Structure 1
């Protein structure tokens, strides 16, 4: 367990750049005063922003990066510039042990490509997965993965995702035995692709010996109900489900805004409903759930949404700090070892 996490911040990524990233770091520090930061970016720009946050400067080391990754850069282009960009140097800090984790609001494809190349996947993991916490009606958020890193997955990949997602749920949400489900077009055992059905059987066979409870299949309209703690999918389906959920939230909020402004009576209704609507807005605010993590790498990389504000960045930093404190990598490695020890050797790939 890490007592005082040191986190590398890609200061130049995201819509708000260094101003938002450092404001987020300052907010995170106010909530967890033991945090330390390695701020990576243009030292002139970073220095100007640090002058606005005197308390943050004492907890920071600045590492100059002469270049940055733009949102339009292709992953192949980003990889070639890894040694000069703020994103690449932040990832390198994790690889070299100068930081326990890195947080970036930059280009997702570039971040994944550079992270995978620099850090490699953990033993027993074929592919890393992008995982995030989704708001739900349950007592805690729901872990969902993969959200876009892998468009095609076989049964072994899905089982590995399930193990990693359950470990993340235990570390981030303190759930002792997470309920895990596979995203499918129906809950019946006969539905779905052959790979989904094979993954389901593998998880049923192993569930009794692992710190998770496999509960079968779940449909997309049940993800937010809070009935399960971890939802596992290939990246293609998972990304569609995520974007659909985000679009639905925006649709509902825009519809409410239009309805409440349609007449005098509606405006009066808005005033009466304002406390309840505030709670709804807080619960659905993406900044309050910001911070997707690449699971399965030899290092912690957290992706903050590009449009996140300082509160969103602070939450992404909190995700990185939480999994470092709870030693997520060790948990995943332990669960993989247990799975291999109790399952047929051909049931899961081992590298």
Structure 2
């Protein structure tokens, strides 16, 4: 099958959507499919052979973060050329409602279109206001996927229609077989995320850290991600700053080793999360996970059976939970064992098969149109129309 995948966000600024698209493309290529990914990227950025640049992206504040998007006449021309040259059996557009390549591709594409919605934003005035503009493009979509129930709810409430829920995928074995780094061992907490993005929650963790350090004097905090490191520890007493080690941006291999090494992985995110791919990666590595009780995080952590939850944006609750876990190795082991079993449902062997089933269904429907044969598509795919009608 020839598959075209559209990434809305800049390929050279890593994020959960980009990682999901990268891993999906490589999984499909490994199965023998022909895959091309169109993504915003600086023209001098080294790209995998399956990625085509649509030009440089610009930063736009969105959903409590900064999304690097690509939109304009040059981008539209590159989209049309990519679609023309690709002659794809199916186009898979991620975030078609964002003002980037997804929307441009939806406007320009013909044939079977699958769309994945990642955003969880229950009060998006911008999405509501933009609906009249988005509607003609969204009506071309053959099947809709949401990465979580919360992303599906955002879609239903703002844009109408429905979607099948297929979560983000992870190569579970990649994380499970990583070797711990002895230098990161000990009484260790871990955090991975953009340091200067408030919704990732590092300030909440920093506010909790003095109480954790008082109860567990040997504790260390490892922080991986880009941002202002001095500003991140500015609220800590000077004597505690040495207990925080900043690793900067880390490779996938070092991320896996970090998650295999820490006693507790902390996800103090404060909102705007529709899934929580880092939680799945941590569970895959066998880490004990402590996360804020966002709805999406609670779902990934099996409502607290696969990881500990604490009250969102409450440093005292975070501190109490972290201290309890650091002092109770049996509890950590029990959570890790449950998490390692629970996380298998997110492996690409399962997620990839579900996505391929959607592709096959919409391409069968398109073939039925050509032969005037009616093939009913499953309503659980969230179709806006029946391609066989």
- Higher percent of residues as helix: 1
Q: What TM-score comes out, normalization by structure 2 length?
A: 0.36
Q: What TM-score comes out, normalization by structure 1 length?
A: 0.39
